[in-house]
Structure 1
Amino acid sequence: MSGIHSGETQPRLRLVTRGNVQLAVFEQGNPDGETLVLVHGWPDTHELWRSVTAHLEDRFRIVSYDTRGAGASTSPTAVSAYRLEELARDLTSVIDAVSPDAPVHVLAHDWGAVEAWEAVCEPGAEMRIASYTSISGPNLDHLGGWMRRSLAQGRVAGPLSQAAASAYTLLFQIPVLGTLPFRLGLWRIWPTFLRLFDRLDPALVRPAPSLRSDMVTGLKRYRANIRPRLFHPRERRTAVPVQLILNRQDRAVRPVSYEDIGQWVSDLRRRELPAGHWSPISHGRDVARLTAEFVDDLRGGAAADSAEVGPV
């Protein structure tokens, strides 16, 4: 893929304010390129994307940011401040600030992907977002609706598989108890934990100095959104072209949970990687390549289709 290399420029910091929240926004790459906005998940910061941006910065103007409750951004105390509606508005505020005159491409992972799904399913989202690449973070309404329909039709294997993979989220929603492992020191051994959980090379993991507080604060996302959206799913559609990067070894988000998502997305592509949950760290070059190929396909008017890719 042209424009991919192994260098890296130093990001430039700016602040985007929405209400009482300041978001730390970082810009790097080609100032004349199309804008690509990156949204990290829990318990990461914008640093999650280091292995990806190194391969895209010649081509794209890259914008990443610490989501509320993480890194250098504001951490509201109320659980309600972490509802998906608020998180999606943070994303659109960043887009409006960095690219007021042209839609951007979005690449998001984990809770960042959940937040971006909320944004792309808003009316008129295609005016702000030209494409969306989603990794390991479902639309919670789509997920809740799929589970309900599958169980009603007697198809229990898929929902049971995803429920087992997501069992940890039940603990995360319990006040005090849910935060206990992180307050007691899981943050100290995070790279080792990711090796055990995700088979991720600890040498690739660069925990942020704010990791402990990011872990604890970020759990408010689970408490604010999981039960309302899974138990009372809304009908959410989007005209934004969407690419799903499905990690075959993902222990948190099973690929089967996306099996009927095509009915909600008018232009959907599926690509697969032989990766675990944290593919932006373990397979940064692949994630960069697939993201750029998706943008190229859209520019060339390629028809939506499904494909599988192996390691590079």
Structure 2
Amino acid sequence: MPPSKSATTSSDGTRIAVYTYANPGAPVLVCVHGYPDNAALWEPVAELLAEDFEVVTYDVRGAGESDHPISTSAYSLDRLQEDFQAVLDQAGREVHVLAHDWGSIQAWHFVTDPDLQDRIASFTSISGPSLDHAGYFLRQGNRAVLKQLLHSWYIFYLHLPWLPELAWRKGWAQRAVNLLDKQDPDHHRALGDYVNGMKLYRANVVRHLLRPAERRTDVPVLAVSPDADLYVTTPLQTSVARWASNLTVKVVRGGHWMPRNDPGLVAELVREHTRQVARWET
């Protein structure tokens, strides 16, 4: 059954498109997508989890049917948190969070905010670290750091002027990404998802890596690292026990876009983690 569509409005007036797979009375699972995706990324996973949860997905600002603010500063993690809070307010109760890629980067910001921790029952993170935690990780200066820097080449590229935008508009970059990850080119992505989403990097990466904050959480976290991820290495994703007091780590077989390529495994991991957190009977 397709989700129902609605919208909520963030603190700065940005309209956020929300999609709900209704299951009244069930625990709420909010899914946050990354770059360059939109909420459609979660459709295969949501269909598998709709019997267990009321699944809520939303288009991150700049993507899909949400508003596309023009200024780069409108894409800061604090603004993204206000969008998430608007989705939480619409849900009206405690939620579990599932996030991928830049969705995970955002969600780490959410779950390490003391004002939000009581509203989040659990967090399943796939292929996305906290930028602040990454800032401390990079200061280690060891071989794991060097390996991650080599995997992060694209971040430097996305900070270049005009060239990345041109590559997306001409279709060169899409073809390169599809070739690297052996993906089908049809992912329900629009040009705006590619171009607007670069502001996520430009508004946040340098600031948080150079001046990381000590962000901690007591929310139960499952950090999932696909072993063939081309962009995020396992040590960066999983070496976070210092910051997350209730941490579970799983290294699984697969590539970066697990929600699309292996939705069954993602659904299984979410069920297992939330059952352990809530002590549900299996």
TM-score, normalised by the number of residues in structure 1: 0.86
Match of 1:178 among 160, 164, 168: 164
1:175 deviates by 2.5
Matched, 1:34 2:13: no
**For 1:97-108, what aligned pairs fall within 5 Å after superposition?**
97-98=90-91, 100=92, 102-108=93-99
1:238-260: CA deviation from partner (whole Å, max 9, x where unpaired): 11111111110001000111353
Which runs of 5 or more structure 2 residues have no equivalent in the other structure? none
Unaligned runs of 5+ in 1: 1-8, 303-312
Q: 1:222 aligns with which of 193, 201, 205?
A: 201
Distance, in Å, in 1 between the alignment partners of 2:25 and 2:119 is 18
1:245 pairs, out of 224, 235, 239, with: 224
Q: Does 1:134 align with 2:125?
A: yes
Q: CA deviation at 1:193?
A: 4.3
| 3-state SS of paired residue (2:117) | helix
The RMSD of aligned alpha carbons is 1.7
What is the percent sequence identity of the aligned residues? 37
Seen in structure 2, the aligned counterparts of structure 1 residues 293 and 278 have a Cα distance that, compared at 3 Å, is: same
Higher mean C-alpha deviation, range 50-59 or range 72-81: 50-59
Q: 1:34, 1:60 within 8 Å by CA — same for their partners in 2?
A: yes
Paired residues of 1:37 and 1:104 also in contact (CA < 8 A) = yes
1:123-169: per-residue Cα shift (whole Å, max 9, x none)?
13221110000011110000110111x12xxxx21111110101111
Q: Stretches of 4+ moved more than 4 A in 1?
A: 192-195
Shift, 1:211, TM fit: 1.6
Q: In 1, distance between residues paired with 2:36 and 2:75?
A: 14
SS at match of 1:238: coil
2:181 maps to which residue?
198
The equivalent residue for 1:5 is: none
Amino acid at match of 2:181: D
Q: 1:195 deviation in Å?
A: 4.5
1:310 maps to what in 2? none
* Partner of residue 160, structure 1: 146
How many matched pairs?
Answer: 280
The answer as to whether partners of 2:225 and 2:237 remain within 8 angstroms in 1 is no
